[in-house]
Amino acid sequence: MRFFFLIIASLLFAQLVSAQKLNQLKHEDHKEFFFHWDNDVFLFTDFYYTQGVQLFYVNPALRKNPANHFLPRLKNADNYFGIGLIQEIYTPKDITDSLMNLVDRPYAGTLFFRSFVTSVNPGKRLKLTSQLDLGFLGPLSGASHAQEIIHDWLGSKPPMGWDFQVENRPYINYNLIIEKEFIQVPQLFSLLGNSQLRAGNIHNDLLVGTNFRFGRLNNYFKGLHLANKKYRENKDFEFYVCGGLNYREVLYDATLMGGIIPPKEDNQFKFNQIEHHILEYDIGVTITYKMLSLKGKVIWKTPEFENGESHGWGRISFYIRL
């Protein structure tokens, strides 16, 4: 099974071509704002990856971002330039325990700024997203305060163990995501293969898998999250079910292991204590009308560490074309 997934990854990444400065967009006014809110309260749980907020802005003017020099693009492509701010919160299963837990996931938080370019070639039905993440892992992320605010708002039990969270570390990660459509029934069905490579001092892993969309839908490669007005055949209304199955091969995860620099406390996992082979799957629904889109989905993954449990969370996403 692992060999099969690695073959798919090799085929997908083989289609990555050299960067090109030309931006093919004719409609320079294509701008988007979108956000994702992740929380496991949607599945009536409160542990592991428990909360996340992601805010993004896409604007052609961001092509001048110096970070774009490190972000490859496809030839003959529509290029979408963006920035984002992301916070993620991780906790053990029992957040009421005020003592150090040596056998469960440690408390950890991240806060980082993302520069990204999404490069889309409709003719080849190919999309490349490259990302550079810079920020913090540890108390500087503000994760403990954010979780306290959310729990107070939801009327949930307050977390008691943030004194033992992963120490402050810089967050530096470089990510590549490539998507290739294999089957398309116009305006009805789409099946894609996807692969992701993350490298840095926080996450080092490789993901491969497949995703589908079924319903009333536009061409996946003629826009970003919302239709690009450059393509007049795009419809104003979309409604479809989407889902995916992915395999992730994990080399390193600092939210579990405490960072490349050995932590002072011994409440993080060693290399041989984390799970290196993880399955992830999701299912969701998207509805779009003209300049607005709303999406809800559930994400589930198999255990990430020795004696850990499978875990899931819900995600609500909102998109607006400006």
Is this model's pTM higher than 0.95 or not? Answer: no
20 pLDDT band, cuts 50/70/90, is very low
Class of domain 2-13+31-321: mainly beta
- What's the pLDDT score for residue 79? 94
| 120 neighbors 77 (Cβ within 8 angstroms) | yes
Domain boundaries, the chain: 2-13+31-321
% of the chain with per-residue pLDDT over 70: 89
Q: What are phi and psi of 268, to 5 degrees?
A: -110, 165
Kind plus residue range of the DSSP H or E element containing 318: strand 311-321
Average pLDDT over residues 224-240: 90
What local confidence, expressed as pLDDT, does residue 173 receive? 98
What are the structure tokens assigned to 273, written together? 């204590």
Query: Tell me, what's the pLDDT at 170?
Result: 95
Give the pLDDT confidence of 242-294 residue by residue, as tens digits: 999 999 999 999 999 987 776 666 668 889 999 999 999 999 999 999 999 99
| Alpha-carbon dihedral sign for residues 43, 46, 47, 49 | positive
132-187 per-position pLDDT tens digit:
999 999 999 999 989 988 888 877 788 888 998 999 999 999 999 999 999 999 99
Contacts of 119 (CB under 8 A, 6+ apart): 72, 73, 74, 77, 78, 79, 80, 127, 128, 129, 130
Question: In the structure, what pLDDT confidence band is assigned to residue 8 with cuts at 50, 70 and 90?
Answer: very low
Contacts of 186 (CB under 8 A, 6+ apart): 219
- Model confidence at 2: pLDDT above 60: no
